[in-house]
């Protein structure tokens, strides 16, 4: 039941591929490849989640499709009851990190066509991120150029665990294409191909560590993008960190500023303190929102971030660590701030009417 609240934009909803969903969208060559070989992405490392498909136990549609794979059920369980004005779909698929780059590109294209046909054209409240084979940035840029024409795509979607830090120059074509089309780049929780261990000391043992360590991957990406001068090269670039939390951001920015002051000669391409790039170019989504024992501490973090205008609400539906729009933020926010977080900031960033 929706309570009285400002318009809600959910910046992180997962639409899930169901078995065979991509067949109609794959060219014959890749359909055959798929039938003959199948995909390879994760290098065999995995941490079993706390629940099947990391989903809420109540999110399995009666149709038998996977959680997030049934638009009608998503409407009934999520979009309608929470009175969601817009939902941004971030389709998590291994298409984007297949080892075979051409197969990855074909799959991503198929995923995007499937998103248009099965989601964006059918439900006016939904928007989506363009899924791209980001480890082959040239192919990724081509897919951005192709897919950006559809108005339902509002960002380029990357996963945070990349093969190299995203500020490194090999990823430039992706950011170039995003800026060319005026699209933010969303970096979402997940990814990885088994190449880089989750920590600087290798692989931890447990899923709770994997999940917690995701915040460190986000921190590394922020540092890389800032310190490599990505925002000097692309002054119009906007980056959204999705499902990374944000409680760590002030401390990271302080640390960058402090050590930049002493080491700035090393990175002469930066013309300003790191904090300024972060403040101008980075947005964050809320889920999984930090739950400090004293909710006022969250207000403190928002203050340290320079206010709430870069913070956008998200639920992560249908996953287990879902945040409820009416209950997730326990701090007493100023009503205007609340409205900005729940919808205003996202509508401004994504250009939603």
Partner 1 sequence: MVVELLGAGEARVYARPADWPDVALVDTDVHITPRSIDALAGFLPARWRDYVRESGVQSLESDLYPPRSPLSAMPGTRPEDGPPGSDLDLLRAQLLDPWRTRIAVTHCVYGVDGIHNPDWAVAMARAVNDWQHAEWLAVEPRLRGSVVVAAQDPARAADEIDRVGPLPEFVQVLMPVRARAPLGSRTFWPIYEAAQRHGLALAVYAGGAAGNPVTPVGAPSYYLEEYVGLAQAFQAQVVSLVCEGVPVRFPRLPIVLVESGFTWLPALMWRLDKNWKGLRREVPWVDRLPSEVIRASVRLTAQPIDAPDPARLGDVLDRLGSDRMLMFATDYPHHQFDDPALAAPADLPPDAMARFLGGTAHETYRLGEG
Partner 2 sequence: MAAHVVATVDEIPPGQRKIVEVDGRSIGVFNVAGRYYALRNTCPHAGARLCEGTLSGLVTSRSPGEYTYERDGEILRCPWHGWEFDVTTGRSWFDPDRTRVRSYETTVEPDPPPGPRPGPYVAERYEVEVRRRYVVVHV
Rg (CA), the chain: 20
Using the rule CB under 8 A, which residue among 58, 151, 202, 335 binds partner 2? 58
Describe the chain by its helix, strand, coil percentages, rounded to 5.
40, 15, 45
Q: With contact defined as beta carbons under 8 Å apart, do 346 and 88 qualify?
A: yes
Site for partner 1 contains 224 (CB under 8 A): yes
Looking at residues 297 to 336 of the shown chain, list those that interact with partner 2 (rule: CB under 8 A): 320-324, 326-328
- Diameter of the chain by CA atoms? 60
By a kind-dependent CB cut-off of 5 to 8 A, residue 167 interacts, out of partner 2, partner 1, none, with: partner 1
Using the rule CB under 8 A, which residue among 161, 188, 310, 319 binds partner 1? 161
Reference 84, options 72, 96, 76; nearest CA is 76
Site for partner 1 contains 203 (CB under 8 A): yes
Q: How far is the CB of 246 from partner 2 (least distance, A)?
A: 19
Site for partner 2 contains 50 (CB under 8 A): yes
CA trace torsion 69, 73, 79, 83 (10° rounding): -170
By a kind-dependent CB cut-off of 5 to 8 A, residue 36 interacts, out of partner 1, partner 2, none, with: none
Distance CA 338, CA 343 (A): 9
Looking at residues 39 to 98 of the shown chain, list those that interact with partner 1 (rule: CB under 8 A): 50
Residue 157 pairs with which residues in a beta bridge? 131, 186
By a kind-dependent CB cut-off of 5 to 8 A, residue 58 interacts, out of partner 2, partner 1, none, with: partner 2
Distance CA 191, CA 264 (A): 32
Site for partner 1 contains 329 (CB under 8 A): no
Peptide linkage before 318 cis (omega within 30 of 0): yes
CA trace torsion 45, 48, 49, 53 (10° rounding): 90
By a kind-dependent CB cut-off of 5 to 8 A, residue 56 interacts, out of partner 1, partner 2, none, with: partner 2
Site for partner 2 contains 3 (CB under 8 A): no
Using the rule CB under 8 A, which residue among 320, 339, 347, 352 binds partner 1? 320
Interface map 90-129 toward partner 1 (x if CB under 8 A): ----------------------------------------
Q: With contact defined as beta carbons under 8 Å apart, do 161 and 97 qualify?
A: no
The footprint of partner 1 (CB under 8 A) covers 50, 160-168, 195-209, 211-213, 215-217, 219-221, 223-224, 227-228, 245, 247-248, 250-252, 254-260, 262-263, 265-267, 288, 290-293, 297, 300-301, 304, 320-321
């Amino acid at each position: 039941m929706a309570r009285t609240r400002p318009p809600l934009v959910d910046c992180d909803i997962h639409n899930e591929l169901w078995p065979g969903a991509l067949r109609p969208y794959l060219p014959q060559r890749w359909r055959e490849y798929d039938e003959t070989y199948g995909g390879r992405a994760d290098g065999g490392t995995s941490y079993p989640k706390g629940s099947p498909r990391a989903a809420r136990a109540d999110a399995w549609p009666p149709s038998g499709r996977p959680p997030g794979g049934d638009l009608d059920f998503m409407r009934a369980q999520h979009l309608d009851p929470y009175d969601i004005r817009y939902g941004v779909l971030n389709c998590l698929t291994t298409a984007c990190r297949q080892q075979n780059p051409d197969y990855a590109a074909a799959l991503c294209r198929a995923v995007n066509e499937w998103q248009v046909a099965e989601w964006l054209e059918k439900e006016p409240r939904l928007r989506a991120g363009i899924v791209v084979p980001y480890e082959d940035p040239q192919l990724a840029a081509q897919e951005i150029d192709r897919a950006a024409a559809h108005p339902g795509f509002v960002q380029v979607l990357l996963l945070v665990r990349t093969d190299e830090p995203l500020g490194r120059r090999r990823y430039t074509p992706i950011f170039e294409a995003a800026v060319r089309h005026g699209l933010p780049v969303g970096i979402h929780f997940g990814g990885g191909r088994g190449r880089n261990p989750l920590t600087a000391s290798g692989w931890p043992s447990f899923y709770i560590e994997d999940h917690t360590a995701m915040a460190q991957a986000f921190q590394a990406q922020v540092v890389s993008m800032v310190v490599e001068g990505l925002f000097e090269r692309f002054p119009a670039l906007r980056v959204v960190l999705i499902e990374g939390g944000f409680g760590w951001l002030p401390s990271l920015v302080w640390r960058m500023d402090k050590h930049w002051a002493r080491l700035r000669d090393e990175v002469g391409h930066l013309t300003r303190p790191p904090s300024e790039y972060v403040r101008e170019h980075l947005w964050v989504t809320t889920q999984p929102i930090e739950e400090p024992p004293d909710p006022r501490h969250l207000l403190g973090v928002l203050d340290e971030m320079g206010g709430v205008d870069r913070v956008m609400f998200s639920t992560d539906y249908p996953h287990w660590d879902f945040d409820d729009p009416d209950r997730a933020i326990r701090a007493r926010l100023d009503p205007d701030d609340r409205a900005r977080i729940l919808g205003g900031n996202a509508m401004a960033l994504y250009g939603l009417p």
